[in-house]
Chain A
């Protein structure tokens, strides 16, 4: 570029820069000082706090005082999905898991996680997160069950993670249910579409293959009919309440007795392969 045209261009550069920067400065003054200070004054928020809030250095709106809460926690489950817990479930001690499973779990839930008794749930291919959470909840009394409480009493968090991962990964796909599938269109509809008017999401929106629901969501496909029905009824009556934020209690109370029976039959009859395809 020639010297002459550079001189010609300088006013453009200067004016454009000044205008652009000036607008930002004015906007910043208004947004960070004028608005918060004026709003804060009538709400009893001091100017310093108001400016800090407008800058994002303090929580809350410059125009309202922050509310406070003095409640004590009464958690329904003590399991938190921290990075450490998740990492442990992804990288378990496999040997430890299979030893513990053989010694502690096999007599009721089967050596390969396929339970011989209708009252006991299958473990084969169950989500490691679901098993871990339930073991933890049994131990801490968040889920009441005398047999399980005594079984898990001696286990620490790492052992529970190892057992959970053992059943989840070692015997995935072991179930081959033979019970007939429910074909009632109303139940298929509830599973696949939900009922918007009753505020019932589709069961598949959490328990489906492509769901992306809460981490601890259990696999239902191929599970024992009797077990599923019993759990839904326990949620509905509030006897079981270790589902955080009423996720299942809310749904179970909206279901009729016959829906509970048929849903249990439906899931008991689906092959696990259908879920992990």
Chain B
């Protein structure tokens, strides 16, 4: 072959530059979404004892579901257990910032909400937290997406996204399905 070593090297350096640019573009896109759109993965190093979760103040049964907090923020608290979500249906308003707070008393679970980019793992020992805005109204499916035992396939809940005007909190600020 009549390819000289320097020709090969030159072609490789050129290609390496193209690779460098490609990598830089991907990287720049991530930084842009982080800075401009505030996109972050759902990190929240907030611990809670799974063995005594039902004794905790925040995740006591009567405090689960959606609540408009006194400060005005909308928070939805959900407990993932083997093999159901408590509550099995939550209501959230459309086009409003909502914070989902999820945790578990037993094993690893995870959720996604179909048709949205809501997604988090639920790891025993931690409160998983997702900040989001639901834009489409209707009943969305929220399945457990991580293997949690033999009943995993039957573990799903409903996220009911309602227009702002149909979202009517009670005196305590709570809104529930039905």
Q: Across the interface, do A73 and B83 meet the contact criterion of CB distance under 8 Å? A: no
| Residue A64 CB within 8 A of the other chain | yes
| Residue A125 CB within 8 A of the other chain | no
A82-B51 contact given A59-B45, A213-B149, CB 8 Å threshold: yes
Which A residue's beta carbon lies closest to that of B57? A73
Q: Is the interface of B mostly helix, strand, loop or mixed?
A: loop
A75-B105 contact given A199-B156, A206-B82, CB 8 Å threshold: no
A61-B40 contact given A38-B35, A213-B149, A250-B88, CB 8 Å threshold: yes
Q: Across the interface, do B38 and A63 meet the contact criterion of CB distance under 8 Å? A: yes
| Residue B46 CB within 8 A of the other chain | yes
Q: Across the interface, do B83 and A201 meet the contact criterion of CB distance under 8 Å? A: yes
Interface residues of A in 58-93 (CB under 8 A from B): 58-64, 66-78, 80-82
| Residue A244 CB within 8 A of the other chain | yes
Q: Which of A39, A195, A245, A251 is in CB contact (< 8 Å) with B38?
A: A39
| Residue A237 CB within 8 A of the other chain | no
| Number of cross-chain contacts by CB at 8 Å | 152
Cβ distance A240 to chain B, nearest Cβ, rounded Å: 14
Q: Across the interface, do A73 and B60 meet the contact criterion of CB distance under 8 Å? A: yes
Cβ distance B162 to chain A, nearest Cβ, rounded Å: 21
| Residue A258 CB within 8 A of the other chain | no
Q: Across the interface, do A61 and B150 meet the contact criterion of CB distance under 8 Å? A: no
Cβ distance B58 to chain A, nearest Cβ, rounded Å: 4
Q: Across the interface, do A208 and B55 meet the contact criterion of CB distance under 8 Å? A: no
| Residue B54 CB within 8 A of the other chain | yes
Q: Across the interface, do B57 and A71 meet the contact criterion of CB distance under 8 Å? A: yes
| Tier of interface size on chain A | 35 or more
Docked pose: A97 CA to B77 CA in angstroms: 41
Cβ distance B16 to chain A, nearest Cβ, rounded Å: 12
Docked pose: A221 CA to B55 CA in angstroms: 30
Q: Across the interface, do B60 and A194 meet the contact criterion of CB distance under 8 Å? A: no
Of the listed stretches B3-11, B61-69, B109-117, name the one at the interface; the rest are far from the partner chain: B61-69
Q: Which of B40, B62, B88, B129 is in CB contact (< 8 Å) with A199?
A: B88
CB-CB under 8 A from A229, the residues of chain B are: none
Docked pose: A205 CA to B106 CA in angstroms: 14
A30-B57 contact given A199-B84, A204-B150, CB 8 Å threshold: no
Which B residue's beta carbon lies closest to that of A35? B34
Docked pose: A70 CA to B75 CA in angstroms: 12
| Residue A106 CB within 8 A of the other chain | no
Q: Across the interface, do B55 and A245 meet the contact criterion of CB distance under 8 Å? A: no
Cβ distance A16 to chain B, nearest Cβ, rounded Å: 14
Docked pose: A133 CA to B164 CA in angstroms: 44
| Residue A42 CB within 8 A of the other chain | yes
A202-B45 contact given A64-B99, A73-B57, CB 8 Å threshold: no
| Residue B86 CB within 8 A of the other chain | yes
Docked pose: A75 CA to B46 CA in angstroms: 21
Q: Across the interface, do B82 and A213 meet the contact criterion of CB distance under 8 Å? A: yes
A250-B84 contact given A77-B54, A81-B51, CB 8 Å threshold: yes
Q: Across the interface, do B35 and A214 meet the contact criterion of CB distance under 8 Å? A: no
Q: Across the interface, do A244 and B105 meet the contact criterion of CB distance under 8 Å? A: yes
A35-B55 contact given A71-B63, A196-B153, CB 8 Å threshold: no
| Residue A200 CB within 8 A of the other chain | yes
Q: Across the interface, do A201 and B34 meet the contact criterion of CB distance under 8 Å? A: no
Q: Across the interface, do B40 and A194 meet the contact criterion of CB distance under 8 Å? A: no
Q: Across the interface, do A245 and B40 meet the contact criterion of CB distance under 8 Å? A: no
The 7 A-B residue pairs with the shortest CB-CB distance in the complex, in nearest-first order: A201-B151, A205-B151, A205-B150, A59-B46, A201-B154, A80-B52, A69-B58
24 A-B contacts (beta carbon < 8 Å): A42-B38, A60-B44, A61-B43, A64-B99, A67-B73, A67-B101, A69-B57, A69-B77, A75-B55, A80-B54, A80-B55, A81-B51, A194-B154, A196-B153, A199-B88, A202-B151, A205-B149, A211-B150, A214-B81, A214-B82, A245-B86, A245-B105, A246-B86, A251-B84
